Amino acid sequence: MGFKRRFVLGLLWRVALLLLTAFGFVYSLSIEGLGAARLLAAIICVGAVAGLWRYIQRTNVELARFVDAVRFGDLSQNFTHRHEGSGFGEFGEALEQGMRRLREERHRLSDDNRFFEAVLDDAPTPLLTVDREGRIELANKAARRLLSRHQGVRVEDFRIYGDAFANSLADESAVGRPRLVPITLDSVPQTAMVSAAIVHRLGSTVKAVAVQPIQGELNAVEIAAQSDLVRVLTHEIMNSMTPVTSLAHTAAALMGQADKGGDRDVADARAAVETLARRADGVMHFVESYRQISRTPEVRRRLFDGDNWALEIEALFRASAAAENLDFTLKIPRDGFTLDADPDLMFQVIINLLKNAAEAAKAHTEQPAVCLSFSTTRAGRTQIEVSDNGPGVPQNLRQDVFLPFFTTKAKGTGVGLSLARQVVLAHRGSINLLESKSGGALFRIVI
């Protein structure tokens, strides 16, 4: 109201001045001899018109300047008019307050954007974006750590992680429907939960894709289920076999006393009972060996020098009977390596794999060879490979060899590889059976 009142008063006296000077100029025209007064009146009249025009236009000019500043994003403009009077100071202050509010809003939005960008970049779940042209971008640090092997931004460039994963990035029907997708990371087949959503960005839409590897969780569930099953089975079998074993040994002892060597039927009965006792002992030993599968290994991880550790493995293996007449090779990175693991548990796992490899190679060829190699993956993890030139394992059996009770050996128990897998998975690592360059077996551990 103050600005309006002052503006009206300023407008009125300027109009009054204009009318007065116009009247004076007209009056001077009717009287001869007033040339100088007539000129002065004309000048004052023109000045009054100019002042009135400037007074009216000044508001429009300031409003236009304010609108242009907002339109072009220039929020550094100043609109204070403290010494111009006629209420224009209040008008300028109102524009200045509006500009300050816009600056504050811009700063708030900028802070919010920085916060959300930091949250997105540090989010633990790998996130990707796929635009309408099929361009794929890694949206945060987790994605850049997980997907570090490809070069390029197209779907085809991501096939290095598996065709199924690349197809899931291009599949529009996957939006809003999480699915399990096989993915190859560090040359190890895994399973990931892939989910997608459509988001709006700069007037367009992009597909945001979350990739969460869950192979570790699936392995943990599988191992827990196997352990529970083995624990129940061994408990029930041992409860049933304990009295059978005891009675079989008692019967064998009694038959031994009764057999004087003169009765063939008694001798046959004694042999049958002794065989029964031995088989009962064998079953008890077999079941007892499986009880260790139901116990989750206690992992005591620490960082240690991998070079000396690998040399200790080599020395122990070469001193064993399994290494006789065998070509053994150890490969260690030139720059050395460190390992974050339980040295004792992993030592036993590798020794068992080496013995299995030696046994398979010797049974298959006259020039058996086994290789133990260590390397570092691009993601900074340690890769351990045990390979041989044996017969290898058929593709359809490569996953079964890690199951309890499963074995391809005539005298195997099916415990060794199952325990090895438990130890590796307890390290949050992976173990896979592949084919070596010579056609034999290749066990790859990544921890």
How far apart (Å, rounded) are the C-alpha atoms in residues 360 and 443?
13
Name which of 105-109, 161-165, 364-368 the model is least confident about: 105-109
Out of 208-217, 284-293, 336-345, 422-431, the most confident range is 336-345
Domain hosting 426: range is 302-446
Question: What is the model's pLDDT at position 292?
Answer: 60
Domain termination site, one of 213, 238, 265: 213
Residues 162 and 223 in one domain: no
Ranges 13-22, 111-120, 355-364, most confident: 355-364
- For residue 137, pLDDT over 90 is answered with yes
Q: Is residue 266, in this structure, part of any structural domain at all? A: yes
Answer yes or no: do 407 and 380 share one domain.
yes
Q: Is residue 367 part of a domain?
A: yes
Band of residue 142 on the pLDDT scale cut at 50, 70, 90? very high
| Most confident option among 3-7, 68-72, 362-366, 414-418 | 362-366
Cα separation, 170 vs 181, in Å, equals 13
Q: Which of the pair, 90 or 247, is modelled with greater confidence?
A: 247
Helices and strands, number each (H, E), in the chain: 10, 12
Tokens of 53: 């025009």
Type of residue found at 25:
F
Q: List the CATH number of the domain containing 146.
A: 3.30.450.20
Q: Is pLDDT of 15 > 90? A: no
400 with 417: CB under 8 angstroms?
no
Residue 392 sits in the same domain as residue 306: yes
Q: Tell whether the model's pLDDT for residue 399 goes beyond 70.
A: yes
Q: Please, are residues 51 and 14 in contact by the beta-carbon 8 Å criterion?
A: yes
Looking at the structure, tell me whether residues 61 and 179 fall in a common domain.
Answer: no
Task: Say if residue 215's pLDDT is above 90.
Answer: no
- Which residues, at least 6 apart from 230, have a Cβ–Cβ distance to it below 8 Å? 290, 291, 293, 294, 404
User: Could you say which of 294, 322, 356 is where a domain stops?
Assistant: 294
> Which range has highest mean pLDDT (17-26, 249-258, 263-272, 431-440)?
431-440
Each residue's pLDDT tens digit, 258-277? 877 777 878 888 888 888 88
Q: Which of helix, strand or coil describes residue 116?
A: helix
Please indicate, yes or no, whether residues 34 and 51 belong to a single structural domain of this protein.
yes
Most confident of the ranges 186-200, 253-267, 379-393: 379-393
317 with 411, same domain? yes
Count of domains observed in the chain: 4
Residue 87 falls inside a structural domain: yes
Which of 189, 213, 237 is where one domain is finished?
213
Mean pLDDT, rounded, for 410-428: 76
Instruction: Please count the residues of the chain.
Output: 447
Q: If pLDDT is split at 50, 70 and 90, which confidence band does 29 have? A: low
CA distances from 302 to 337, 340, 342, 380, 383 (A): 14, 5, 6, 16, 17
Task: Supply the pLDDT for residue 58.
Answer: 67
Confidence of residue 164 (pLDDT cuts 50, 70, 90): very high
Q: How far is CA 8 from CA 1, 88, 423, in A?
A: 11, 11, 90
Pair (201, 236) in one structural domain: no
pTM over 0.85: no
Q: Determine, yes or no, domain membership for 151.
A: yes
Q: Are residues 88 and 145 in the same domain?
A: no
CB contact at 8 A, 339 and 364: no
The rounded distance, in Å, linking the Cα atoms of 23 and 30 is 11
> 302 or 107: which carries more pLDDT confidence?
302
Residue type at 365 in one-letter notation: T
On whether residue 119 sits in a domain, the answer given is no
Q: What is the pLDDT of residue 374?
A: 96
Segment of 252-261, 347-356, 412-421 carrying the highest mean pLDDT = 347-356
Looking at per-residue pLDDT, the higher value among 10 and 347 belongs to 347
Q: Which of 107-116, 123-132, 233-242, 306-315 has the lowest mean pLDDT?
A: 233-242
Distance of CA 442 to the CA centre of its chain: 27
DSSP 8-class letter at 378: T
Residue 4: per-residue pLDDT: 53
pLDDT (average), residues 172-180: 82
pLDDT tens digits, residue range 44-89?
777 777 777 776 666 666 667 767 776 777 767 776 654 454 455 5
The least confident of 15-19, 166-170, 334-338 is 15-19
pLDDT at 335 (0 to 100): 86
- Per cent of the chain over pLDDT 90 is 28
Q: Is residue 321 part of a domain?
A: yes
Predicted pLDDT at 47: 78
- pLDDT reported for residue 370: 96
pLDDT at 141 over 70: yes
Shared-domain flag, residues 181 and 209: yes
The answer to whether the beta carbons of residues 77 and 69 sit under 8 Å apart is yes
**Are 286 and 343 contained in the same domain?**
no
Q: Is residue 82 part of a domain?
A: yes
Q: Would you say residue 400 lies in a domain? A: yes
Long-range contacts of 321-328 (CB under 8 A, 24+ apart): 322/354, 322/355, 322/358, 322/359, 323/358, 325/362, 325/368, 326/358, 326/361, 326/362, 326/368, 326/369, 326/370, 327/367, 327/368, 327/369, 327/370, 328/369, 328/370, 328/371, 328/372
Mean pLDDT of 12-39: 71
pLDDT band for position 173 (50/70/90)? confident
pLDDT value, residue 16: 79
pLDDT value of position 88:
55
**Tens-digit pLDDT profile for residues 327-354:** 999 999 988 899 999 998 899 899 989 9
List beta partners, residue 136.
130
Report the C-alpha gap between 175 and 179 in whole angstroms. 10
Are residue 98 and residue 85 in the same domain, yes or no? yes
* Integer angstrom CA distances of residue 335 from 3, 369, 382: 80, 26, 13
Query: Do 288 and 335 have their domain in common?
Result: no
